[in-house]
């Protein structure tokens, strides 16, 4: 999952550790990429429980919401992202963020970002013009034409 929403009662962990079962579902690959080596090894080696607030602090989840509201909050987040103009822009930025891991260095990753961004830049002129004319200044996005996140 790229964006993760959990409720405040969620508990995460590599609990297979407690029964001597190895991680064979990608956990030894995905957790270090998501959390960094040290935090991932903490979970992988100890099998300790991680409660929602700690999971948020370490990047295991992106949002913590009230008990029983995780699904509706995740759906609202998805709807918010889907409401943004120029979905191709979002797709290219997402693609660049995911592909950057496969490049040998930052320079190649930056070239890829430029290539992908340039492919949709022409359609971004209208949004840039709205910003130039004052929309979104001072962190206010009420006049951007898209909903402002409540999450």
CATH code, domain with 56: 3.90.226.10
Residue where a domain stops, chosen among 55, 79, 103: 79
Residue 141 confidence class, pLDDT cut points 50, 70, 90? low
Query: Does residue 150 fall inside a structural domain?
Result: no
Query: Does residue 63 fall inside a structural domain?
Result: yes
- In this structure, are 42 and 18 located in the same domain? yes
- Answer yes or no: are the C-beta atoms of 140 and 74 closer than 8 Å: no
Average confidence (pLDDT) over 28-57: 97
Q: What is the pLDDT of residue 146?
A: 57
Share of the chain above pLDDT 90, in %: 76
Q: What is the pLDDT of residues 87-110, one digit of tens each?
A: 999 999 999 999 999 999 999 999
- pTM tops 0.95: no
- Structural domain boundaries, residue 90: 85-130
- In this structure, are 15 and 74 located in the same domain? yes
In the numeric block, which tokens belong to residue 68? 């029983």
Count of beta carbons in the 10 Å neighbourhood of residue 88: 13
Q: What is the pLDDT of residue 148?
A: 55
Q: Kindly tell me if the per-residue pLDDT of 28 is higher than 90.
A: yes
- In this structure, are 50 and 115 located in the same domain? no
- In this structure, are 14 and 66 located in the same domain? yes
| Helical spans, DSSP H, in the chain | 27-35, 37-46, 52-58, 70-83, 87-99, 106-118, 125-132
- In this structure, are 60 and 125 located in the same domain? no
Query: Does residue 139 fall inside a structural domain?
Result: no
Q: Kindly tell me if the per-residue pLDDT of 151 is higher than 70.
A: no
- In this structure, are 67 and 123 located in the same domain? no
- In this structure, are 16 and 57 located in the same domain? yes
- In this structure, are 74 and 98 located in the same domain? no
Query: Does residue 65 fall inside a structural domain?
Result: yes
Q: What is the pLDDT of residues 4-20, one digit of tens each?
A: 999 999 999 999 999 99
* Burial 123-142, CB ≥16 within 10 A → b, else e: eeeebeeeeeeeeeeeeeee
**Among 39, 48, 44, 40, which Cα is nearest to 22's?**
44
- In this structure, are 74 and 9 located in the same domain? yes
Query: Does residue 141 fall inside a structural domain?
Result: no
Task: Indicate the number of domains in the chain.
Answer: 2
Please, what is the average pLDDT of the chain?
A: 91
Residue 144 confidence class, pLDDT cut points 50, 70, 90? low
């Amino acid at each position: 999952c790229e964006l993760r929403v959990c409720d405040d009662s969620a508990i995460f962990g590599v609990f297979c550790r407690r029964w001597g079962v190895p991680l064979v579902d990608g956990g030894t690959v995905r957790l270090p990429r998501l959390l960094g080596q040290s935090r991932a090894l903490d979970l992988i080696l100890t099998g300790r429980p991680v409660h929602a607030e700690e999971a948020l602090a370490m990047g295991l989840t992106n949002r913590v919401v009230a008990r029983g509201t995780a699904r509706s909050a995740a759906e609202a987040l998805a709807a918010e992202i889907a409401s943004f103009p120029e979905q191709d822009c979002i797709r290219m930025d997402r693609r660049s963020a995911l592909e950057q891991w496969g490049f040998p260095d930052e320079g190649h990753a930056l070239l890829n970002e430029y290539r992908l961004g340039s492919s949709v830049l022409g359609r971004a002129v209208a949004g840039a013009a709205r910003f130039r004319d004052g929309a979104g200044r001072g962190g206010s996005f009420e006049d951007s034409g898209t909903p402002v996140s409540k999450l």
